[in-house]
Amino acid sequence: MIHAGGAAAKLQAAGGVRSLAFDATTPLQLSSGEALAPLNVAFETYGALNAERSNAVLVCHSLTGDQFVASPNPITGRPAWWPRIVGPGRPIDTNRFFVVCSNVLGGSMGTTGPGTIAPDGLPYSLRLPALTMADAVRAQAMLVEALGIENLFCVIGPGMGGMQALQWASAYPKRVFACVTVAAAAKQSAQNIALAELGRQAIMADPDWRNGAYLQHGTRPTRGGAVARTSAQLAGLSAQDVRSRFENARTLERFAFNAEGANDTMRQQQGAGFVDRFDANSYLYLSRAMDGFDLAADFGGRLANAFQGSTRGTAYSRSQAIGAIHPITGARSPAHWRRPALRLHSSKSPARMATTAIWVTSRRSKRH
């Protein structure tokens, strides 16, 4: 048993997935006013926590990611998703840092989400309360506290993970020494909201979605999931990349619109793999949570006000490659709202940006 705030969290392990189970005495208070209990938070750790408990780094994953940031996923067999950043001798050096990566609230890799079995013995499906990025961070805070970690040296994440990192820096300024975001914005652009809605509508229009109850019927919305996957990929591309890909497709396909063509078959196979490893209802919940993320909303519309309580270092990354994530006419990137203590130069490589950020934050620390 691991104790957090006077309440006990039970450590569980099944199929290579570890999680902490919080019972009904420790409900998660949601932004909607509802309470979620019981709660499972799945996680993975790398490295060792030092005696001072001051070397913990929290990595937050992207929309369709999971907690296996530096090791293969034992369920899907997919490789680590950030091996260039996290590992021995890497920018987030697991010989030096204790790395924690949790599956996000609403996810499909062990943390409570739409596919989780509810107390009545059936999957939550669409009965799960609406979730926000703030809810996801509160669940992570429960995990971190249960692991006996009071302060985090750094919180870092790409995409949706970057949104969580920003929320951490705002909600827990005294507990986070440094925050690093990669390809993330403090508010979704109208373009990305539209693409996410396209993906959601595609999933819900798939006959196999069964009004969200596909797990009970033994089906999965594979075709809708393939479209959702494509829309999510497009949201992460720059305008130049989008044009280039469609020019290539037009050259190869010419004017063929055969639904059984090779390219369509490939997309269906990729979509099937996507839906098998990532619950379609999780996509609905998490993409909606991203669309509703607006860090400035509770601070008079001024993003700088969201960090007034922070006295620690903050790093951010910008690149031409993430113009679709926060285009000039849409979502605001961190560059528009704060003069950070740690500034990065523009780069086309997210790995290089994250490497620079961790190197800078590490150099600032006097505790390691």
Look at domain 191-289 and name its CATH class: mainly alpha
The pLDDT score that the predictor gives to residue 255 is 52
- The 10s digit of each residue's pLDDT in 22-70 is 999 999 999 999 999 999 999 999 999 999 999 999 999 999 999 999 9
Half-sphere exposure of 318 (CA within 13 A, CB side): 15
For residue 271, pLDDT over 70 is answered with no
pLDDT at residue number 49: 97
Q: At what angle do helices 280-291 and 222-235 cross, to 10 degrees?
A: 30
Average pLDDT on 155-167 reads 96
What is the pLDDT averaged over residues 91-99? 97
Instruction: Name residues whose C-beta falls within 8 Å of residue 68's C-beta, 6 or more positions apart in sequence.
Output: 44, 74, 78, 80, 81, 101
Q: Yes or no: say if 342 and 357 are a contact pair by the CB < 8 Å rule.
A: yes
The least confident of 22-31, 122-131, 291-300, 341-350 is 341-350
pTM over 0.85: no
Interval 338-350 mean pLDDT? 36
Amino acid 50: pLDDT: 97
Pick the CATH number of 2-187+291-364 from 3.40.50.10470, 3.40.50.1820, 3.10.450.710, 3.40.50.1970: 3.40.50.1820
Residue 258: per-residue pLDDT: 53
The span from the CA of 363 to the CA of 367, in Å, is 10
d(CA 218, CA 220): 7
DSSP for 219-233, written as a single string: ---HHHHHHHHHHHH
> Sign of torsion, CA 228 76 217 62?
negative
Ranking 214-223, 309-318, 332-341 by mean pLDDT, the lowest is 332-341
Q: For the chain, which residues make up each domain, given as ranges?
A: 2-187+291-364, 191-289
Percentage of residues in the chain having pLDDT higher than 70: 76
